[in-house]
Structure 1
Amino acid sequence: MAVTNGTHGHFKANPSLVVTADHQIRMEEAPIHEPGPGEVLLHIKVTGICGSDVHFWKHGRIGDLTIDGDCILGHEPAGVVLKKGADVTHLEPGVPCGHCFLCTGGRPNLCQDVAFAGVYPYHGTIQRYKVHPAKFAHRLPDNVTFDSAALLEPLSVAMHALRITPITMGTPVAVFGAGPIGLLTMASAAKVRDLFERKGWESSAGRTEYDMPNVVLECTGIESSIATAAFTVRRGGSINVVGVSSRPSINNIPFMHMSLAEIQLRFINRYHDTWPAALRALEGGLIDPTKVDGLVTHRFKLEDAIDAMNLVAGITKPAPGERVVKVQIVDELEVEIP
Structure 2
Amino acid sequence: MGSLEAAADSTTRGTFKAPLPNPSLQVTAEHTLKLVEAPVYLPGPAEVLVHIKTTGICGSDVHFWKRGRIGSLTVEGDCILGHEAAGVVVKCGEGVTDLKPGENLTQTGAIGDRVAVEPGVPCGKCFLCLDGRYNLCKDVQFAGVYPYDGTLQRYKVHPATWLHKRINPTFSPRLPDNVSFAEGALLEPLSVVLQGLRIAQLNLGRGAVVCGAGPIGLIALAAARASGAHPLVITDVEPKRLEFARQFVSSCLTYRVDPAQGPEEVAAEIRRLFGTREYEAPPTVLECTGAESSICTAAFTVRRGGTIVVIGTGKPTINNLPFMHLSLAEIELKFINRYNDTWPAGIACLSGGLLDLKGLVSHVFPLERALEGLVLASDPGQGSIKVHIVDDRETITF
The question of a shared fold, defined as TM-score above 0.5 by the shorter chain, is answered with yes
Please report how far the alpha carbon of residue 167 of structure 1 lies from its aligned counterpart in structure 2 after TM superposition: 2.4
Q: Residues of 2 paired with 1:166 and 1:262: CA distance?
A: 17
Q: 1:115 aligns with which of 141, 144, 148?
A: 141
Name the larger-Rg structure. Answer: 2
Alignment partner of 1:77 is 2:85: yes
Please report how far the alpha carbon of residue 205 of structure 1 lies from its aligned counterpart in structure 2 after TM superposition: 2.0
The equivalent residue for 2:23 is 15
When structure 1 is superposed on structure 2, of 114-123 and 170-179 the one drifting more is 170-179
The equivalent residue for 1:6 is none
The equivalent residue for 1:232 is 301
CA offsets 1:288-330 (integer angstroms, 9 cap, x no match):
3xxx110011111111111111111119x53xxxx21111111
The equivalent residue for 1:131 is 157
SS in 1 for 2:373: helix
Q: Residues of 2 paired with 1:144 and 1:239: CA distance?
A: 32
Q: 1:25 aligns with which of 3, 18, 33?
A: 33
Q: 1:140 aligns with which of 175, 178, 183?
A: 175
SS in 2 for 1:122: coil
Please report how far the alpha carbon of residue 11 of structure 1 lies from its aligned counterpart in structure 2 after TM superposition: 2.1
Q: 1:314 aligns with which of 368, 379, 383?
A: 379
Structure 1, unaligned stretches of length 5 or more? Answer: 1-8
The equivalent residue for 2:126 is 100
Please report how far the alpha carbon of residue 268 of structure 1 lies from its aligned counterpart in structure 2 after TM superposition: 0.8
Contact 1:10–1:335 (Cα < 8 Å) also in 2: no
Q: 2:51 aligns with which of 43, 48, 65?
A: 43
The equivalent residue for 1:199 is 253
Q: Residues of 1 paired with 2:214 and 2:331: CA distance?
A: 25
The equivalent residue for 2:199 is 164
Please report how far the alpha carbon of residue 24 of structure 1 lies from its aligned counterpart in structure 2 after TM superposition: 0.7
SS in 2 for 1:294: helix
Q: Which amino acid is the alignment partner of residue 67 of structure 2?
A: H
Structure 2, unaligned stretches of length 5 or more? Answer: 1-16, 100-114, 165-173, 231-246, 256-269
TM-score (norm 1): 0.90
Q: Which amino acid is the alignment partner of residue 151 of structure 2?
A: T
The equivalent residue for 1:213 is 282
Q: Residues of 1 paired with 2:48 and 2:327: CA distance?
A: 50
Contact 1:214–1:234 (Cα < 8 Å) also in 2: yes
Q: Residues of 1 paired with 2:220 and 2:179: CA distance?
A: 19
Q: Residues of 2 paired with 1:89 and 1:287: CA distance?
A: 31
CA offsets 1:213-260 (integer angstroms, 9 cap, x no match):
101010000110001101110111111100011x21111111122122
- What is the percentage of aligned positions where both structures have the same residue? 59
Q: Residues of 2 paired with 1:200 and 1:265: CA distance?
A: 23
Q: Residues of 1 paired with 2:123 and 2:150: CA distance?
A: 19
Contact 1:11–1:335 (Cα < 8 Å) also in 2: no
Q: Which amino acid is the alignment partner of residue 63 of structure 1?
A: G
Judging changes above 3 Å, is the alpha-carbon distance between structure 1 residues 281 and 109 closer, same or farther for their aligned structure 2 residues? same
SS in 2 for 1:190: helix
The equivalent residue for 2:8 is none
Judging changes above 3 Å, is the alpha-carbon distance between structure 1 residues 61 and 200 closer, same or farther for their aligned structure 2 residues? closer
Q: Residues of 1 paired with 2:278 and 2:153: CA distance?
A: 50
The equivalent residue for 2:258 is none
Runs of 4+ that moved beyond 4 A: 91-95, 200-204
SS in 2 for 1:231: helix
Contact 1:218–1:242 (Cα < 8 Å) also in 2: yes
The equivalent residue for 2:390 is 330
Could you say which structure has the greater relative contact order, defined with CA pairs below 8 angstroms and 6 or more residues apart? 1
When structure 1 is superposed on structure 2, of 100-109 and 206-215 the one drifting more is 206-215
Q: Residues of 2 paired with 1:169 and 1:196: CA distance?
A: 17
When structure 1 is superposed on structure 2, of 206-215 and 216-225 the one drifting more is 206-215
When structure 1 is superposed on structure 2, of 77-86 and 163-172 the one drifting more is 163-172
Q: Residues of 2 paired with 1:48 and 1:200: CA distance?
A: 26
Q: Residues of 1 paired with 2:45 and 2:126: CA distance?
A: 23
CA offsets 1:257-299 (integer angstroms, 9 cap, x no match):
21221111111110001001111111111223xxx11001111
